[in-house]
Chains A and B, each alone.
Chain A
Amino acid sequence: MTPKRKQKLWVILGLVSLAAIAVGLTLYALRANINLFFSPVQIAQGDAPMARQIRAGGMVKEGSVARDPDSLDVEFTVTDYVDDLQVVYSGILPDLFREGQGVVVVGELQADGHLYADKVLARHDENYMPPEVAQALKEAGYSPADYQTSAADK
């Protein structure tokens, strides 16, 4: 082999091995860090894994938000109007967290059926519905107009 070819070979080998490492690391990291979304119905049916980080979402049930008087612990119910999910969180809720509006929570489901959230997300828009929540609600048989009114009714 001429030196030039040899150099080329090394370049290619180097690139291939780097690419392989990168792909391997990426797939590993992706597998470990993907959060799947579940709606309350799916969780009630037992579709969601226990003690693994997931995302869940729906509407915050009217009158369900309960603050502990001495700490920042808070509990509330997320509903898709078919099933309810009890969420436990400690910390500051986002500015746009409201009863009767859509939220997405990230956390782990424990054996008591409660979801222990690390993060609660509500978007900076009054009329906003997280797309996952909108779709989950649609699958539960509600149209956007329905859940607006039914949230208002409750």
Chain B
Amino acid sequence: MFITMIPEIGHFALIIALLMAVVQAVMPLAGAATRRPLWMAYGQSMAAGQFLFVAIAYGCLTASYMLDDFSVANVANNANSLLPWYYKFSAVWGNHEGSVLMWSLMLAGWGFAASRFTGSLPRDMVARVMGVMGMVCGGFLLFILITSNPFERLLPNMPPDGADLNPLLQDIGLIVHPPMLYMGYVGFSVVFAFAIAALLGGRLDAAWARWARPWTNVAWAFLTVGIALGSWWAYYELGWGGWWFWDPVENASLLPWLTGTALVHSLAVTEKRGSFKSWTVLLAIATFSLSLMGTFLVRSGVLTSVHAFANDPDRGLFILILLAITVTLSLLLFALRAPRVSHSIGFNWLSRDALLLINNVFLVIMTVTVLLGTVYPLILDSLNLGKISVGPPYFNALFVPLTVMMCVFMGLGSAARWKGMAAKDLIHKLWWAGAAALIIGAVMPLLYRGEWNLLVSLGIVSALWVVLPILRDIVDKTRHARSFSAGLRKLSLSYWGMVLGHVGVAVTIVGVTVVSNYNIERNVRMSPGTTVEVAGYQFTMSELTERRGANFLADTAIIQVQRGESGRRFTMRPEKRLYLATGMPMTQVALRPGLFRDLYVAMGEDLGDGSWAVRVQYKPFVRWLWLGALLMAFGGVLAVLDKRYRRVAIARDIPASTAQRYAAQKVTL
């Protein structure tokens, strides 16, 4: 009895969560406006309750999947009784309804976390943050209940078995990619709530920035990992060996990442120097709005890609309205209140402040160009001006030079001092780094391939110019310590976070540069006995066989690979699978990964007469792309673990009188 009711329990839990979100949106804000502590206190408990009930709903949907309850439309459309249990588990978020539910779960989770770790924040600030979080959560829960109910039943015409999960999504990459990405997207809602609360309360100081920074860093780190996982997934799952397609959906995740990166840096300036306040707030609003826009683009059906599940114009409209309300209200608030919270603090043009500002501007320009390339075709189409598509050359033509310019300032910025420094000092500090970067960068392509290549040199110079000034800075910082290692230990965790983040950027740049310029791809016709040579490796197809998997049939090619004449031999087994429930074919790539090169073999199509079209690729340094992203994310997390944030967490226990004293200081701004 209980088991048959699981979907209804989930549905009911969602409705309760929505009601709680409404209370959370109204009461704390009203309390903050009328100075009633009791009303303000509603925020935290509602956030906890809402998280609990969304989690119950999510658990119910997962249970329906696990129990093969095909009377639930969502389960029937996206699962099959043959599916292994872990894919049933991950199929929950492999479709529109389930992924929006997961999104809401994470939103509620972030809201709950924000309500627990309020630090030394004054009570009215907490109340306003909770209120804004409540509005956002409420919007999404309403979206689920009105347009995308995951618990809809197919009664009485219940199908005997499900339609199966899209084979492309039956993969470890899919199990982790969306949750990571969503954690990032949704995490920015906390800093957004903070920005709005600051505008509402008319208070924005270093303490505010110190509070908002860890949240932003964590969200940003999740988003970074999410994007990297997506790229990795596309690399080995789609069978082309591409790692970034400038597909609108990829762009949708890149946009908040770009402004989020700017935000992380701008917050650093706001905390350290008390400047760039309105800019920080604007970036927080922009980042969250772009996260929403990403959702709109993916869910509305204006785009067609692997990510656009069953589409429905109502959903697009709903998110568009949500987006419009968010952007309009927050910008209106910004226009009215920003002059009150900002005040300018002077700095010299040769200072870390200024260099960070310049790169912030570059990041925003990148955002605008990517945004333009992504929505321009949509706008033209909606105005009936023709169907166009904007290809990768557009994005590369803009993104590459902008990144190079940004690297120039990144190198300068990590060695420059706050507030200002003499040009002479900076040149003295960095001339050798510049010279070394230029020389090594110019020579590298010659050493690696025996042929000069401008783009490769440019990439290597940029990467070195990002890393070498940091090395110089570390040497300077440890100079006065007893020993080098003692000096290293003295450096703060947030400093190490910065170092890792920037090294990650350099590593990614090297990866992108090398794999884009030295990638070797050969499409060949192979039958048993055929040998092809690619980049010094001999690929010999020894056999073509068939095998049966859990829910698919596969043609497998067995390919013997040998490096040179006498190198090590190994076997690669690419497959072409046919999934039984959907009848969909899928390419299963054979990969031989390595830090400096990947070998990549994918079966194309059966050409008849016993031969297959096979795609053989040699991809140097491709792992560096994702390695760099992981380093960046790790840097972001390391910065959060810095001592000064831990102190904030302890300060939570300070009695309310201190908080009131903080509140009294409000006038000083």
Contact = CB atoms under 8 A, between A and B. Distances in A.
A34 B585 contact: no
22 contacts: A7-B349, A15-B361, A25-B369, A25-B397, A29-B398, A32-B394, A33-B394, A34-B390, A36-B387, A37-B389, A67-B607, A69-B609, A72-B525, A72-B604, A72-B613, A93-B605, A95-B585, A95-B586, A95-B605, A96-B584, A96-B585, A135-B387
Interface of B: 166, 168, 239, 304, 306, 344, 346, 349, 361, 365, 368-369, 372-373, 376, 386-391, 393-394, 397-398, 401, 523-525, 576, 582-587, 604-605, 607-609, 613, 615
Given A26-B372, A124-B306, A33 B346 contact: no
A92 B398 CA distance: 30
Given A34-B390, A36-B388, A93 B372 contact: no
A70 B525 contact: yes
A7 B357 CA distance: 13
Interface stretch (A77-85, A108-116, A125-133, A144-152): A125-133
Contacts of A70: 525
Given A72-B523, A95-B584, 14 more contacts: A19-B365, A25-B369, A25-B401, A26-B373, A30-B376, A30-B390, A37-B386, A53-B391, A72-B604, A91-B604, A92-B523, A95-B587, A124-B168, A132-B387
Interface string A14-32: 1100110010011001101
A32 B393 contact: yes
Contacts of B604: 72, 91-93
A55 interface: yes
B662 to A, nearest CB: 30
Contacts of A10: 349
Contacts of B390: 30, 33-35
A71 B522 CA distance: 12
B388 A34 contact: yes
A19 to B, nearest CB: 8
Nearest to A18: B361
B173 to A, nearest CB: 15
Q: Which applies to chain A's interface (DSSP): helix, strand, loop or mixed?
A: mixed
Nearest to B576: A95
A4 interface: yes
Contact of A126 (B391, B401, B582, B607): B582
Q: Which of B168, B387, B525 has the most CB of A within 10 A?
A: B387
Nearest to B167: A124
Contact of B615 (A37, A92, A126): A92
Nearest to A25: B398
6 closest A-B pairs by beta carbon, nearest first, are: A92-B604, A33-B394, A37-B387, A29-B397, A95-B585, A33-B393
Contact of B523 (A36, A91, A130): A91
Interface residues of A, number: 41
Contact of A131 (B166, B304, B524, B582): B304
B389 A35 contact: yes
A34 B372 CA distance: 12
A26 B367 CA distance: 12
Nearest to B238: A124
Given A22-B365, A30-B372, A35 B391 contact: yes
Interface of A: 3-4, 7, 10, 14-15, 18-19, 22, 25-26, 29-30, 32-37, 53, 55, 67, 69-72, 90-93, 95-97, 106, 123-124, 126, 130-132, 135
Contact of A35 (B304, B361, B388): B388
Nearest to B380: A34
A26 B1 CA distance: 62
Contact of B394 (A14, A30, A123): A30
A124 B389 contact: no
A36 B376 CA distance: 13
B191 to A, nearest CB: 24
A36 B605 contact: no
A67 B525 CA distance: 12
Nearest to A131: B304
Contacts of A53: 391
A33 B524 contact: no
A78 B609 CA distance: 25
Nearest to B612: A92
B525 A71 contact: yes
Contacts of B376: 30
B361 A36 contact: no
Nearest to A36: B388
Contacts of B605: 92-93, 95, 97
B613 A33 contact: no
A53 B392 CA distance: 13
B346 A4 contact: yes
A95 B168 CA distance: 12
Contacts of A132: 387
A31 B95 CA distance: 36
A29 B583 contact: no
A55 B377 CA distance: 14
Contacts of A15: 361
Nearest to A98: B585
Nearest to B391: A33
A129 to B, nearest CB: 10
Contacts of B373: 26, 30
A72 to B, nearest CB: 5
A69 B365 CA distance: 50
A84 to B, nearest CB: 20
A22 B239 CA distance: 35
B389 A55 contact: yes
